[in-house]
Structure 1
């Protein structure tokens, strides 16, 4: 067993709740207060940090263990809109992922559908692609899980693209945007969770607009200037306050 230190405070239960309905259903899950990557790792909260049995390399980025909590609080706490939310969710994190390709597919499935709807589609896809490799997804009959022709084409193009998600994020983002059906919202969301960009911000997100109280993405983007360089953390705070269906 290995223990990974985390900056404090650390909202373990909130992280698990967020990941529980956004995981790759047949490959990972949350149960009994633990995160499980089936057959590969079990992560639980320990007094010293996160106790990991099995593979540990992806865990630190998955749970944003090194989040600069005090700096985030100092910057975002100056804004009255976020100050109260920070009190409700101290130590807010931006969750990462175990596998970037899986999350990219999940983000595409989540376009214009509810969180639970995307989770259902992800489960159907994972049942047909148990290893969930790009090659397996590319060969899958994606229409059989209830996808439109356009969504099918986007996921297949992603699977066949050969994108290396470990490269420089600016380059990865450019490659993603070259795929029809992947736009700024998807890339910004993945920038938060895959690119680990603390300032990535999907300003057109309906949940963020609702939480901020506007329908104008430009107005939200102007307001978000005061949240730099931690706009991704501001997004998480805003997402955690509305109804679950508004959180991507």
Structure 2
């Protein structure tokens, strides 16, 4: 049976068993930030979709993103923006992003149902799970600060962060910048941002894990449509302009 883009695919049992294990294809995304156009354009089938937090804020369609994630994702962890919206809490924004985060948090909160806010509130900060003999640890930030931690630039500090991780693979988001590397005998992966890329271009990014290997990927989505929707939001003109510029350029 054929599958559409961004949908779970059926597992072919004639070719997908190895020692009685089903070999899965994982698609890993993060930082969707209310960008429903990017989520809908995800050009990959999968057995499981994993989401590393920040479903909401900054983008024009948070309710549609949550509905899609609820319907399609197998694992979701909480990001700092999810936490802020779920608890109507603007206390932890950094000075650089405070005005933008506060304005879009108020808009996002007005668009979500009580059930959707409860969904965000109930998301775990961390999840550890095994697939095909590999153990994965999922979070949004860092092991020391799962919601808001940013990875250090010094490699020794990276290794210190990974020292307490017992999984084979650490999956994180938050920075909006793709990373795939080996440190301290573990794999560290950040799929980048699906909904608000910050790597110098408008392409959305994500990761695929299959047959024991990761691949970072990018794709084009109808960014002009997302920009049009942003332009129509009840946001201060300066904030709307900055959000549109980020989507166009992939830079803050």
Instruction: Please state which band the TM-score falls in when normalised by the shorter chain.
Output: under 0.3
Q: What TM-score, normalized to structure 1?
A: 0.27
* Structure with the higher strand share, 1 or 2: 2
* Structure with the higher helix share, 1 or 2: 1
